[in-house]
Structure 1
């Protein structure tokens, strides 16, 4: 068993396909199939179920996969640590909530790109749940997520505090009217979004248990749907302030114990903090005056 075998295992598991994994790894399917079969012979158990739609992990494969990702990450970190000399450079892969990207990251990213052009920064968006899993499973170097996060393998730092507000069509000037709306719809991100979970909890406390969720993949689409009168949502005040000032939507303050949420930066405890990551931290500190990653 070597690191190359583990990379193949992770790629096949992620794609659910030998062929798609081969494309990503710049090889042919027969090589991927041969490596997986060799790995299965070495560990003595089947790691994948083969079926007409592709492959899926067996229970043994599911147990092995986290170790494969961590070993591959440790080897990559060892190489990075040896080479990490001079000006920050190399790849830095981060994740963020879409709301954080819209509200907070633009000046950070702009200044970072100007100051450190040799760093290949990649930013992906997702829900708090998916981003936390991606960091824990070594697919991302770090991520901005909504708190709280309690994970034994992750280092967590509070960065920003956002005020959440209930967002409704502009004609709904009182939250009391929500109880009288037939077939109330919530306009939300996919499952795993912490704002969605908070909205569901808030409505439940108001005695509204039958709201129908409509899932969208972008913040702009969510705001547009609320403005069109389709439903309601819960978002940071800063995200919807402009639309409210244009009288496209109405925003409603909620109780402080429900309104405020911390945006956290997370990374693995055992990950090597590269010069690129340190530089990103310093830029973010100077832009927002917040400590992010323990060096």
Structure 2
């Protein structure tokens, strides 16, 4: 097991370093087979005093709190901000969700994360969450693997367990 950005995990699969990986979609590569496993709903996360995306846009300089380059959430955040007429300054990169949420709660910047990840911080009143368009909010997590590699019995058994747990979230909205 290994964690990483979507880009680094895909590269590891393509280079035969991993049998497969869970990554944020979409993924289009001729050497990979992809299977949607679950869907996440993303939210823009800000300091609790920011009441709307419009208010954020009026604040001027927007600092983003993100994972390192290659993270698909980071790319999606840039798109969301651009749709609202905002351009982010140099991002602050972190390696943990707790550090990212702590910085957002302190008013250092904003981020885009799955609802489930920010739910506790939001319930505790540490951050504010803002809905984004369905197009920007829905992210399918895919299992990717090389098409030219045999799927072992262990890998298939693992996926047989993962599919029933996650599949209900893929019902079209």
TM range (shorter): over 0.9
CA drift of 1:206 comes to: 1.3
Offset of 1:178 from its aligned partner? 1.4
CA distance in 1, matches of 2:23, 2:98: 19
- Given that 2:37 and 2:162 are in contact with CA atoms closer than 8 Å, whether structure 1 keeps it comes out as no
* 1:273 corresponds to: 151
Separation (CA, whole Å) in 2 of partners of 1:186 and 1:171: 17
Structure 2 contact 38–167 (Cα < 8 Å) conserved? no
| Structure 1 residue aligned with 2:16 | 138
Alignment of 1:137-216 (within 5 A): 137-216=15-94
Match of 1:284, SS state, is: helix
Q: Is the 8 A contact 2:62 2:87 kept in 1?
A: no
Backbone CA RMSD of aligned residues: 1.3
TM-score (norm 1): 0.55
Aligned 1:1-295 pairs, distance under 5 A? 123-289=1-167
| Local SS of the residue matching 1:277 | helix
8 Å CA contact 1:183, 1:212 repeated in 2: no
- The alignment's TM-score, normalised by the length of structure 2, stands at 0.92
| Higher RCO (C-alpha under 8 Å, 6+ residues apart) | 2
Cα distance 1:156–1:145, how it changes in 2: closer, same or farther (>3 A)? same
Unaligned runs of 5+ in 2: 169-173
Give the distance between the partners of 1:128 and 1:210, measured in 2 at CA: 21
More helix by share: 1
Larger radius of gyration: 1
Question: What count of residue pairs does the alignment treat as equivalent?
Answer: 168
